[in-house]
Amino acid sequence: MKKRVKLLVPEASRNMHLPDVVVSADLKEVGTPTGGTRRCNLTGCTGTRIAVRWEDGQLTYPCTKGLDQTDPSKWRIIDHMTTEKRQFYQARYIPDFSIVRLPDGRIGWITGRTTTQGHALVHVDRNLAAQVKLSEQLELVKWGAQLAWDELERMEVEDV
């Protein structure tokens, strides 16, 4: 007698919006997501692998953590040889005045000030700030301290 086993699919995978196309890192090939998803098998990775059928018929499973998702209808595989590794941290661990990318693609700077609901603020404009949960993963674009060093170096060059 065979026993049926329920396959555990990550909650995020079930509700994930897939793009219309996936583009290779060299921008030469275009693939179509088939709709299949599975948990990423790399140790510590929280991403989801999506099934992509390429023009030559090959089926691959790129991880969402290695895809540029700024365009919701067209995701691009990040070339790790030429692009810096993307760093994701919980909002509570990112220092003030660091530059971060929100999940919707907007970029802003984070402050340690919290709202009454315990959310961090990411300023995307002078007069507009987005609230994010302290546990939410944000992509760190640049550390606040690195911004200060860059500015000091720029000022030294201007003084010469």
Give per-residue pLDDT as tens, 81-109.
Answer: 444 567 888 888 888 888 998 888 888 99
Same domain (yes/no): 69, 95: no
Q: Which residues pair with 12 in a beta bridge?
A: none
Q: How far is CA 82 from CA 65, 85, 124, in A?
A: 16, 9, 27
Greater confidence, 44 or 51? Answer: 51
Residues 61 and 17 in one domain: yes
Q: What is the pLDDT of residue 34?
A: 92
Q: What is the domain range of residue 26?
A: 11-77
Q: Decide if pLDDT at 10 tops 60.
A: no
What CA–CA distances, in Å, run from 12 to 33, 39, 65, 89, 96? 16, 10, 13, 18, 29
- Percent of the residues in the chain that have a pLDDT greater than 70, as a whole number: 82
Average pLDDT over residues 66-88: 73
Between 16-20, 96-100, 120-124, the lowest mean confidence (pLDDT) is in 16-20
pLDDT for the residue 16: 74
Q: CA 48, CA 60: separation in Å to the nearest integer? A: 13
Average pLDDT, the chain: 79
Total domains, the chain: 2
User: 3-state SS of the chain?
Assistant: CCCCCCCCCCHHHHCCCCCCEEECCCCCCEEEEEEEEEECCCCCCCCEEEEEEECCCCEECCEHHHEECCCCCEEEECCCCCCCCCEEEEHHHCCCCCEEECCCCCEEEEEEEECCCCEEEEEEECCEEEEEECCCEEEEEECHHHHHHHHHHHHHHHHC
Q: Provide, rounded to the nearest whole percent, the portion of the chain with pLDDT above 90.
A: 11
**Is the confidence at residue 14, as pLDDT, over 80?**
no
In a domain, 160, yes or no: no
Q: Is the pLDDT of residue 145 over 50?
A: yes
Residue 154 lies in a domain: no
**Residue where a domain stops, chosen among 44, 77, 110:** 77
When pLDDT is cut at 50, 70 and 90, the band that residue 12 belongs to is: very low
